[in-house]
A and B are shown apart, each in its own frame.
Chain A
Amino acid sequence: MKKAILFWIMFFAFSLALLAQEAKIDQPAPDFKLEDINGMDVLLSDYSGKIVVLEWINFDCPYVRKHYQSGNIPKMQDKYTKQGVIWMAICSSAPGKEGNLPTGEIKKRIKQYNGKMTFYLIDSDGKVGKMYGAKTTPHFFIINKEGKLVYSGAVDDKPSTDIEDIKTARNYVTEVLDSLLAGKNPPVKVTKPYGCSVKYK
């Protein structure tokens, strides 16, 4: 009897632990470890005390290309990493699917677009993407210095592939980062992510 009770206690504890692994707004951002394109293991919790941007990426998606070819996202990466923000671009495209590129090709594209992300991480089994609920590329998540997830959504409010739209768009990511850097609460918490679907396996 005691064994059965112990089993159920352990079962519920395990279930709760699994549920806790799901990212939610205003809750501690779940930790993860992923390898970057230089073969280095990157652990989110190593950057506690820092503002962290998670950007879901797929260089072959036209919505991602809009923001890279225009220089919009690379400029944001440059501006905010210089202010101590850790910028993690994460690719959850499964092997054989759109956006799952060889390391050499990824490095070539980053150089071509003048990308300034801190890390480009590979999540080809999609576990981190699903833990955070990443649906599109791009899809942004922002973690504050206290380690809480404070933003999920789009880069801006113009869901198009037209580079011209960037000029008149409201950029949510810069608004959230500027307010966090100024020690204020972000003006938005959740917006509609737009783009291609994440190409999970």
Chain B
Amino acid sequence: MKKFVLITYIFSFVLFSSAYAVEKYRDKQISIEIVPATKAIEKGKENLFAVKVKLTKGWHIYWQNPGDAGEPTILEISTNIPNQQKIIPQYPVPTYKNTSGIVTLEYRDVVYFPFYLWIPQDFDKKELEIQLKAKWLVCKHICIPGKAIITKKFQISNGNLKFLQNNEILNSLKFIPKDTILGEIKLSSNSALLKFPLNFEDRLHKVFFYPITEGVFDLELEPKFSTNGNELSMRLPFVRYIWGDTSNIEGVVEFTFDNGKKKYFVTKFVK
């Protein structure tokens, strides 16, 4: 009897532990894992990682502003590096989808959310432990909410490992807005006029704005833009029922040039 209790206890413990400390989350709709951009994780340098999300065909999750419906994907990273604050990975530019007048900002197929970790030279552990807390809503014809805690350990390189790169992560950096542009905003009764400096050599073909600030802009209507010397003006119509904060507008602006190239910037506007 004692043996049975002990075996049951050990079995339950192992089962519970493995359910808690998941290295990779996977269900029928989505899989989530932490992947390094290089095989060698090194001290005294900035190491690039990413949260890799793979979605089953037809299914999608949402950007930090999901749009008219859905819920944002929330990712939060913590590590065993002393005094390391929680890290929010970077969100690549989403895909714009208009379904019968309901606009959503989504991710499909495979998406990488990159983040950098500085490992101090005096880091005294052999392994770097990264924990991800993830919360999402995955939708197709139905929506399924999910959450997971994923923990993965990485061996700190002793210099013997070759510097292999994960090109998929490096390629995904193209869709991450880099610099921040500060601009001005003027509000009228039904729209906002956003102005910011512009300094491109290539000829601008199109401008698109993905608002990070939720509940202010009507995403169904494409912004109208004009340029005047080194300044770009963009008029964005308000959504019918405004619930967001109009005094603090933040977003990602997508510039498409005549040569087909694209550039993304985070934009912040002050009145």
Which one of A136, A153, A201 lies within 8 Å of B100 (CB-CB)? Answer: A201
Interface contact A196-B139, CB-CB below 8 Å:
yes
Chain A residues positioned under 8 Å from B171 (CB to CB) = none
Chain A residues positioned under 8 Å from B99 (CB to CB) = 197, 200
Chain B residues positioned under 8 Å from A200 (CB to CB) = 99-102
Q: Does A80 contact B (CB under 8 A)?
A: no
Interface residues on B, range: 20 to 34
- B residues contacting A by CB (< 8 A) are 68-71, 99-102, 104, 139, 141-145, 214-215, 240-244
26 contacts between A and B (CB under 8 A): A22-B240, A24-B240, A61-B142, A62-B142, A62-B143, A62-B144, A62-B145, A94-B100, A97-B141, A98-B142, A133-B240, A159-B71, A160-B145, A190-B241, A190-B243, A191-B243, A192-B244, A194-B71, A195-B69, A196-B70, A197-B99, A197-B102, A197-B104, A200-B100, A200-B102, A201-B100
Interface contact A136-B68, CB-CB below 8 Å:
yes
Interface contact A196-B241, CB-CB below 8 Å:
no
Q: When chains A and B are docked, how far (Å) is the Cα of A95 from the Cα of B137?
A: 24
B142 nearest CB neighbor, chain A only: A98
B59 to chain A, nearest CB (A): 14
Interface contact A98-B102, CB-CB below 8 Å:
no
Interface contact B100-A196, CB-CB below 8 Å:
no
Chain A residues positioned under 8 Å from B139 (CB to CB) = 196-197
- Between A and B, how many residue pairs show CB distances below 8 Å? 60
Q: When chains A and B are docked, how far (Å) is the Cα of A160 from the Cα of B241?
A: 21
Interface contact A196-B69, CB-CB below 8 Å:
yes
Which one of B101, B144, B243 lies within 8 Å of A130 (CB-CB)? Answer: B101
Q: When chains A and B are docked, how far (Å) is the Cα of A197 from the Cα of B243?
A: 18
Query: Which residues in chain A, 150-200, are within 8 Å of chain B measured between CB atoms?
Result: 152-153, 159-161, 190-192, 194-198, 200
Q: When chains A and B are docked, how far (Å) is the Cα of A153 from the Cα of B243?
A: 9
Chain A residues positioned under 8 Å from B243 (CB to CB) = 153, 190-192
B80 to chain A, nearest CB (A): 29
Q: When chains A and B are docked, how far (Å) is the Cα of A22 from the Cα of B215?
A: 18
Query: Known interface pairs A130-B101, A200-B101. Does A60 touch B69 (Cβ–Cβ under 8 Å)?
Result: no
Chain B residues positioned under 8 Å from A152 (CB to CB) = 241
B265 to chain A, nearest CB (A): 26
- Contacts A190-B243, A197-B68, A200-B101 supplied; 5 other A-B pairs, CB < 8 Å: A62-B145, A136-B68, A197-B70, A198-B69, A198-B102
Chain B residues positioned under 8 Å from A198 (CB to CB) = 69, 102
Interface contact B143-A61, CB-CB below 8 Å:
yes
Q: Does A135 contact B (CB under 8 A)?
A: yes
A162 nearest CB neighbor, chain B only: B145
Chain A residues positioned under 8 Å from B142 (CB to CB) = 60-62, 98, 196
